[in-house]
Structures are given as structure tokens and as C-alpha cells.
Chains A and B, each alone.
Chain A
Amino acid sequence: SQQGEEDPQALSIQEGENATMNCSYKTSINNLQWYRQNSGRGLVHLILIRSNEREKHSGRLRVTLDTSKKSSSLLITASRAADTASYFCDTDGSNDYKLSFGAGTTVTVRA
């Protein structure tokens, strides 16, 4: 069954720096989505990238998708304290999305 797996597990950066995290998955997909979760709250949808897209931007977020390597990256530029959160990728392709979320990358932005 397919699953998004985020890497690294944790990331600590200084405010103003960029943060990059990766997601790998096992099978072919239709879409890949990134979510953010602040402590103890629900996930918030950030961006969706379709399998025929290679790059997408939304504000300070940049997502790339490499279907040949079955991987995606999320770049947060000019990080702020409010970016401190866990980030998850979610894939959908086949009908088996039972394990679609990975364990997430926890990002800490230091002031």
C-alpha cells in the first residue's frame, strides 16, 4: 500500500532561514498534497500538486514533484516563528489510501 514518508523527522532552523523537507512514496499517484499541523490541532491543507506538474508555488511555499523518483519536496522560504509545526504529505493514486500519511516532519523555527 502506498504511503508518504517525510524526511527528515525533525528540523530546527533560525527565523529567516529556509526549510526544506522531503516526501517519498511507493506507488504511482494522481496527486500529492502537503499539510501543516500546529500542536494539538487539526491538519491544514497547504498545497496540492498533480502528477503532471513539476513545481508549484503558494506564497512562501514551493513544492516540487519528481514522479520518476517518487518524491516531493516542500520548501518554506524566509521562515517565521509561526511556521513552527509538523508537516505531512498525503498521496492518492490507487484506491488504497489507508496509510496515505507519513509520520511528518517537525519544524522548529527559533527566534
Chain B
Amino acid sequence: KAGVTQTPRYLIKTRGQQVTLSCSPISGHRSVSWYQQTPGQGLQFLFEYFSETQRNKGNFPGRFSGRQFSNSRSEMNVSTLELGDSALYLCASSFSRENSPLHFGNGTRLTVT
């Protein structure tokens, strides 16, 4: 069974630009969660999608958005990039977010210059 795939693996953008990250969950998993990981803030929850609906959202500004498609693939978008958005963005899928393990991709390393 293929694992969670995140693309691209690395990304360099400049301030003010926007970026779209992609996540393909494990087949059959309907829940996709996104996390931002930085050395200073640790692992911060961004949002979670289940069957194309956003079920939960973390405390991030509206520049951070996401969506989920009917095949459970998910994208997140960050507009008007800031230097502080430089981070490892992790996607995790699960059968259902409650009571089941999260399966993580290897992340997208975003650098904003």
C-alpha cells in the first residue's frame, strides 16, 4: 500500500508570492490533516478535512487555506508569503481522525526569502 505522498518535497519562494502544496493520502483514508513545523513553534495544527469538508481549523491567519477533492487528495495554499512561513509542512491521513493512527508524509520544506 502506498504511503502518504506530498509534493513538492522542497520549495523556495519569495515574500508576497503564493504557494500550493499537495497531499495524496493512503488509499481509503478520508481524513487529511495539515501541520506546520518550525524549530521555534513545534508542530502546529493547520486544518483537517474529511470527505471534502473542513472539520477543524487551527489558529492560523486566513492566508492559509486548504481543500480536499472527492478522491481525498488535499491541497493547501498560502497566499502573500511571509518570511515566518518558512517551515516543514506535514500532511497526515487517517481512516478517521478519531481513534486511528495518523500516517504522515515526509513533508514539503518551504523556504521564503
Contacts and interface: CB of A to CB of B under 8 A. Distances in A.
Which of A42, A45, A100 has the most chain B CB within a 10 Å cutoff? Answer: A42
Nearest to B104: A42
B109 A40 contact: yes
Contacts of B106: 41-42
Nearest to B109: A40
Interface stretch (A65-73, A74-82, A91-99): A91-99
Given A31-B99, A33-B101, A41-B106, A88 B43 contact: yes
B81 interface: no
Interface in B51-91: 56-59, 88, 90
The size bracket of the interface on A is 20 to 34
A45 B100 CA distance: 10
Contacts of B43: 88, 101, 103-104
Contacts of B92: 42-43
B105 interface: yes
Contacts of B56: 95-98
Interface residue SS majority, chain A:
loop
Contacts of B110: none
A101 B42 contact: yes
Contacts of B97: 92, 97
A44 interface: yes
A11 to B, nearest CB: 17
Contact of B45 (A30, A95, A101): A101
A48 B101 contact: yes
B53 to A, nearest CB: 14
Interface-centre pick from B43, B92, B97 (highest chain A CB count, 10 A): B43
Contact of A104 (B42, B58, B104, B107): B42
Contact of B88 (A31, A40, A98): A40
Contacts of A31: 99
B35 interface: yes
A43 B90 contact: yes
Contact of B35 (A40, A48, A92, A101): A101
Interface of B: 4, 35, 42-45, 56-59, 88, 90, 92, 97-99, 101-107, 109
